[in-house]
Amino acid sequence: MIRLSRFDFFSPASLQEALEILARSNGDTKILAGGTDTVVGMKQGVSSPKRVVWLGKIGELRRIAFSTNDGLRIGAMNTLDEIERHEDVQHHYPSLQQAIRSIASPQIRNRATIGGNLCLDTRCFYYNQSEFWRRSLGYCLKRGNGICHAAPELTTCGAVFCSDLAPILIALGATVTLRALESQRTIRLSDFYINDGKSHLTLRPGELLTAIHIPYVPNLRASSMKFRMRESFDFPLVNAGVAVAFSDQQICRRASIVIGAVASAPVIAFEASGMLMGKELSDELIESVGARIQEYVKPLPNIDTSVGFRKKMASLLVKRALRNFRERMQE
Ligand SMILES: Cc1cc2nc3c(=O)[nH]c(=O)nc-3n(C[C@H](O)[C@H](O)[C@H](O)COP(=O)(O)OP(=O)(O)OC[C@H]3O[C@@H](n4cnc5c(N)ncnc54)[C@H](O)[C@@H]3O)c2cc1C
Ligand code: SF4
């Protein structure tokens, strides 16, 4: 049995109390939501916090609300299972439901939260190993010393952000609310990430992600696509969130393509999305968009399968999503 190292445990009953605890902490404090990733990391020794703040007793972080004016608001502590079963998600955001169903296993989704998913640590097969394994190889940039074993020329860690929800939520135009004891801000989810595997969130000290807001856009077609090693349950090797709005004449008037699990932050494919604007979805256009995606994404050899294969799969996932949209328009 692998034991956890010792830490002080806090379970605040309100958001205010949680923010006060975080404001008093000077680093070395870990926020705990469902714990499905954090506890694994703590057991592997990739994270050894002195204080752990569990958010599970805070009811105000666990509410879902929907209106056509305000869209969908999800609390950071809502579990993936609760979100997937929610009637408004099923009716108005089927692509979010699709993304959730692809995550881990039913048991994990029962515990895992959306906040934890969006704040998931980055992964790398040179890093997500036991302490003994990592020490034997020589540490790396993610720990703060050593070299990058995946690409020795790198000066910034390129560990991969493997959230299955971030790409589709960015494509849907989601924003997140971040609260600290004396501040509150709402930013686009795309601005929540930076491409640095050691520190990939723009979360400030003392801040908590409290809620996710997804606008309601009638007639938006959206899809979450994923390639993984085992269909039963597994992290993505590459995923894609694709959202396109068409005019009555089936002309694309808004498009967003986001590729995940190929960098330390979701990759927004601006140019490929722009290629769709003002056009009908023809076979040639879908092929050109796919080719642009394949060229644009540049994964590192630090999770399973080869770089070239993941580039091809990124292109294939986007092409599949676009072809599905077109088929449904023709029904
Ligand atoms: C076997 C297995 C398979 C998995 N497969 C997938 C998969 O296919 N796709 C996928 O996306 N994920 C997968 N995961 C990862 C994980 O289970 C999910 O991403 C889950 O949603 C994380 O949520 P959590 O509540 O358990 O997060 P936790 O483990 O509690 O936290 C994760 C991180 O987020 C931070 N955090 C949590 N809540 C907040 C908040 N409100 N504000 C600020 N920071 C916060 C924590 O400090 C921690 O750094 C898998 C995990 C396992 C063990
Ligand atoms: S990408 Fe390089 S620096 Fe980052 S965790 Fe992997 S081996 Fe370490």
- pLDDT tens track for 54-97: 999 999 999 999 999 999 999 999 999 999 999 999 999 999 99
Spatial neighbors of 216 by CB under 8 A, at least 6 apart, are 66, 67, 68, 69, 70, 71, 72, 92
**Residue with CA closest to ligand 1 atom 15:** 37
Question: How far apart are the CA of 282 and the centre of ligand 1, in A?
Answer: 38
Is the Cβ atom of 223 under 6 angstroms away from ligand 1? Answer: no
Measured from the alpha carbon of residue 205, the closest ligand is 1
The more confident residue out of 293 and 330 is 293
108 C-alpha to ligand 1 centroid (Å): 9
Tokens 């089936």 appear where? 250
Candidate of 63, 117, 304 to mutate for ligand 1, largest count of ligand atoms within 8 Å of Cβ = 117
pLDDT tens digits along 186-241: 999 999 999 999 999 999 999 999 999 999 999 899 999 999 998 888 999 999 99
Centre of ligand 2 from the C-alpha of residue 243, in Å: 31
Q: At what angle do helices 307-330 and 283-296 cross, to 10 degrees?
A: 150
Closest residue CA from atom 2 of ligand 2:
148
Q: Which atom of ligand 2 is nearest to the CA of 197?
A: 4
What's the per-residue H, E or C state across 290-320?
Answer: HHHHHHHCCCCCCCCCCHHHHHHHHHHHHHH
Any idea what DSSP says for residue 135? H
Which ligand sits closest to the CA of 158? Answer: 2
pLDDT at 51: 96
Confidence class of residue 329 from pLDDT cuts 50, 70 and 90? Answer: confident
- pTM for this one? 0.97
Identify the residue with better confidence: 268 or 5.
268
Q: Is the pLDDT of residue 331 over 80?
A: no
- pLDDT for residue 27: 80
pLDDT digits (tens, 9 = 90+) for 23-64: 999 789 999 999 999 999 999 888 999 999 999 999 999 999
Averaged pLDDT of the chain: 96
Of 253, 251, 245, 248, the closest CA to residue 218 belongs to 245
Distance from C-alpha of 1 to C-alpha of 20, rounded to nearest angstrom: 35
pLDDT grade for 314, boundaries at 50, 70 and 90? very high
For residue 19, the model assigns a pLDDT of: 98
Measured by CA distance, the residue closest to atom 40 of ligand 1 is 209
Ligand 1 atom nearest to 114, measured from its CA: 21
Spatial separation of the C-alpha atoms in residues 140 and 81, rounded to whole Å: 36
Q: What is the pLDDT of residues 217-227, one digit of tens each?
A: 998 999 999 99
Residue 53 bridge partners (DSSP): 10, 31
Mean pLDDT of 144-169: 95
Distance from the CA of 182 to the center of ligand 2, in angstroms?
Answer: 35
Q: Among all ligands shown, which has an atom nearest to the Cα of 232?
A: 1
Measured in whole angstroms, how far is the alpha carbon of residue 103 from the centre of its chain?
A: 11
Q: What distance in Å separates the CA atoms of residue 172 and residue 189, rounded to the nearest whole number?
A: 10
CA 77 – CA 47 distance, rounded (Å):
21
Atom of ligand 1 lying closest to residue 41 CA: 29
Instruction: State the distance from the centre of ligand 1 to the C-alpha of 331, rounded, in angstroms.
Output: 38
Protein residue with its CA nearest to atom 21 in ligand 1: 117
Ligand 1 pocket, residue 167 CB under 6 Å? no
Ligand 1 atom with the shortest distance to the CA of 38: 29
Q: Whose CA is nearest to atom 17 of ligand 1?
A: 36
Among 44, 133, 142, 307, the mutation site with the greatest number of ligand 2 atoms within 8 A of its Cβ is 142
